[in-house]
Structure 1
Amino acid sequence: MKKSLHVQIAVIGGIALCLTGAGSGLKAQRAPASAVQVGSTELGGVVTSSKGPEAGVWVIAETTDLPTKFAKVVVTDDQGRYLIPELPKGSYDVWVRGYGLVDSQKVKTEIGRQLNLTAVPAPSAAAAAEYYPGVYWYSLLQIPPKSEFPGSGLNGNGIREIMKTQHYWIDTVKNSCQSCHALGSKGMRTLEKEWGATTSSLDAWTHRVQAGQARGNMALTLGQFGPKALSLFADWTDRIARGELPSEKPQRPQGVERNVVISMWEWSVAKAYLHDAISTDKRNPRVNANGPIYGSTEESTDMVPVLDPIKNAALQIKHPYRDPKTPSSLDLTHGHSPYWGDEPIWDGHTSIHNPIMDEKGRVWFTARIRPDANPAYCKAGSDHPSAKV
């Protein structure tokens, strides 16, 4: 086992039966804001802005004093009060984030203290929208109307004939684009400077989908759409660049939504990504309580990230493969990336997808261990039962 940098984020949510409880009970008590009681492993206080107490906003406490970066997030109650429970010992940066706000200045503090915080109202609708969930921006992406289906091909409306109805298109965007790329996130709804400086956003998107080692998969998906797709993605980023904002605004957490406590850790490495994670037997969620969490890194690396949520530590385990000729992500063609240049950052062989934990807490990985071709004992002419099927 080898310790590593910790970049991917693991998240665990809990329910806090503390002052961040359902708003109705707190309204009835109407305890003064100064009544927040803080224990030795907690942080608490009141969040206010120029508009008064800020209800339903997040208070984030983050530290790098532990073996891996750690953060815990809670929500304020109707009076702007918050309490962050069970914090590991360390020095924390604490700040406020919420809809209608911009991030407040980070305040350095130790645990066991009362800490009142000042929230910062967003100066404009555009500034506020920068904190919206990506799906709000994703909703601005136009899709062809039903009347354009089935597609009439490359010499017709630019939609491939295999797109029989509109729902084929929507399904492909959701399962082939959105499933890997958070389409409404900042990195997707804006164009990188390197590509945005090209003659048009259509050219920029043409470069974007050829970047990195997934260019083959992206080309396959775009081939299913037809050229109409790139023009719609270009139109999407153009409209956002001109200042178009989502038509709907997200609501702040209400009622029992404010009871949720989120713990986050960084694990794995900056050049890897996670396809999945497992922490228990899905048939019996009592298995492996408070035990390690195991990730699967798909094509990016053979190093399995493991997180200990109690010790706040992360490490990696190298997943073996049987045949040295097992294909590697390094074999994939790759294009220039504005983030990594010409470096092929993925080097995985095992293509680990879905890990499973059994009733004994053992972890099973769906991994590749050899080249694609079946061995001789599985081919025609072999006495192996599988070869006779």
Structure 2
Amino acid sequence: MGPVRTVVLPVLRLLVWVVIAVCLVYIAFLRGGPDASGDPAVPSATITAPETTVARADVVNTVTLTGSITEDPATTVKSTAAGTVGRLRVAAGDPVDEGDPLFTVVVPVAETPSAPAPADPTAPLVPAPAPTPRTKTVTVTATVPGTVATLDVLPQQSVDIGTAVATISPGVLRASAPLTQADQFRLLAPPTVAKVTVPGGPGGFDCTELRTGRPPASAGGGDAATGGFTDPYADPSTTQTGANLTCRVPDGIQVFAGATATIEVTAGEARGVLVAPVTAVKGTVGTGSVWVLDDAAGPEGTETPVELGLTDGENVEIRAGVAEGARILQFVPNSDAVGDPGMVMGGFGG
């Protein structure tokens, strides 16, 4: 056993270490990189941006708003004379036309004293009779047609010129709803009639005299809808602007001020036109851009100007700039709309 321990075993041990060293050198320097095909943590496919095509479809620009029924403000009537209230000609709740009498005011008239006649020194002294007071009657009339909402005077009450004495309600009801920036862009050319539905009330009815703009109360400054505060992180297209859409409720429709209303406005339609998803278009009114895909442009696409028409909130009409069947990016590059359906309006807002 002597030669085995002293010669054979050391030689075998040396051979084992040589084999280990050779294997390590092969793994470290000669073998190719690790095969990641079986590693689920490493992507094995090329990620490409979603794309769509320009196709033909119908676009109906219908804007649906949630608002309420409001009543036109009452007009204040002021006294046109100073004196004592005489006869009341109307009561609260009575209908009136412009110029109808509301009540009378008894106004004292100051007399101009005449020069006294020369006194007869021989005549006995007789006291002069007290002058008879003179008055005139002034009638305060309605300044607008409507219904007397309040009459704030009583007979024999003293009034001055300019005192508020009554209010007249025009009796005009309107459907009103706040507008966002996106709503206003879609209603640049609104019709004159909207369809209104009042939950629990009458069926849908046509509401006339449709108009958009800021209500008179907010014209002096400050945003009544937001209290003057603007959230710098809010999507501008979904932020209320302070403007309202209003239309007049026809006479005979049984609704009341304060009732909730849904207002539906169709501001144009186009049939069989070229369209693209709003998420693929940068811009909303007049002009915009899409990113056209072709072999030369690569996966990023080429920004291409287009002329825009109507939009229904999901698709926008393409009037010029690209042809039918053109491949375009489904989302505007660097847009928040990618993968977020809630940001669709922001995506096509540019």
TM-score clears 0.5: no
Give the TM-score of the pair, scaled to structure 2: 0.22
Identify the structure with the greater strand proportion.
2
Identify the structure with the greater helix proportion.
1
Higher RCO (Cα < 8 Å, 6 or more apart) = 2
Larger radius of gyration: 2
